[in-house]
Structure formats: C-alpha cells, structure tokens
Amino acid sequence: MNKPQFTIQTREGEYDLTASVRLIGPDLLVAIWGGEKPHIGAIAMAQPRPSLKDPAVTSSTASVFSYVGHKEDELAKAAAEILAATLKTNVVVTAGIHWDNLPPEGIDRVIKNSQILVEMILDRYAAEFSSHGKDA
C-alpha cells in the first residue's frame, strides 16, 4: 500500500510552487507554498456537490479564511474547488506564497504555476491514491 502523502513541485523555472498532499481518511489536505518567505496566508475548505446547472455533474462549494494583508485567498479557493469537484471528496488547501516586489507578470506566473500544480496533484493522486477511494 502506498503512503497516503506526497510532496510535489512545479519546475517552470521561475516562481515555482511546492505542495504537500496528504490523505486523511477519504479527505485531502494540501499545503501550497513558495517564494522567499513561505507561510500560511489563507485556507480554503471545499466540498463536492451536484452542479446547480446539471445535477449529474459534480461541482463544489468553498469557504475561505485569510490573514489580514494576505492575497492567497483566490489561489487557495480555486485549488480547493477544483480538487474537491474532481476527486469528489472534502479538501482543505492552505496557501502561503511571497516574493518581495513581485511584478504583475510574476503574479501571472504564480497563478499559472498554481494551475499547473493542481494538475500535477490530480495526476499524482490518480497514480498513488486511486485505490484508496472513499474507503481509505
């Protein structure tokens, strides 16, 4: 049986992000960090639910908390919602990313890298945890 955790990192060359992923029973806990001063700036918790437009499709709903002055809330929320809807399980994502004097194109790269990181998490989850399923 595989260990119910892994760490993964983007390798895009700049503004790379790291995630620690852990199964807790059927639920998923993800910590995302990067930059010169990694920390916890925001947390999002999401749960899967039937889509309001098409109940045959799984969507998700998320709640977010951020520390004052932190801007990771949208990144954490997007990651949690995608993971919860795709994996059909409860998800908590923490995010803390900081580079000093990050230019607008750097912000765009961080957002893109977070999207790449979520795809990497989904791929690795399928490879490592698919046998765990909801019975883990």
Residue-wise pLDDT tens digits, 81-112 = 999 999 999 999 999 999 999 999 999 999 99
pLDDT in tens, 3-33: 799 999 999 999 999 999 999 999 999 999 9
pTM for this prediction: 0.91
- Select from 106, 83, 100 the least CA-distant residue to 14: 106
For 33-72, letters b (16+ CB in 10 Å) and e give bbbeebebbbbbbbbbeeeeeeeeeebbebebebeeebeb
DSSP class of 4: S
Ordered structural domains, the chain, with CATH: 19-106+114-129 (3.30.230)
Q: Are 118 and 85 in contact (CB under 8 A)?
A: no
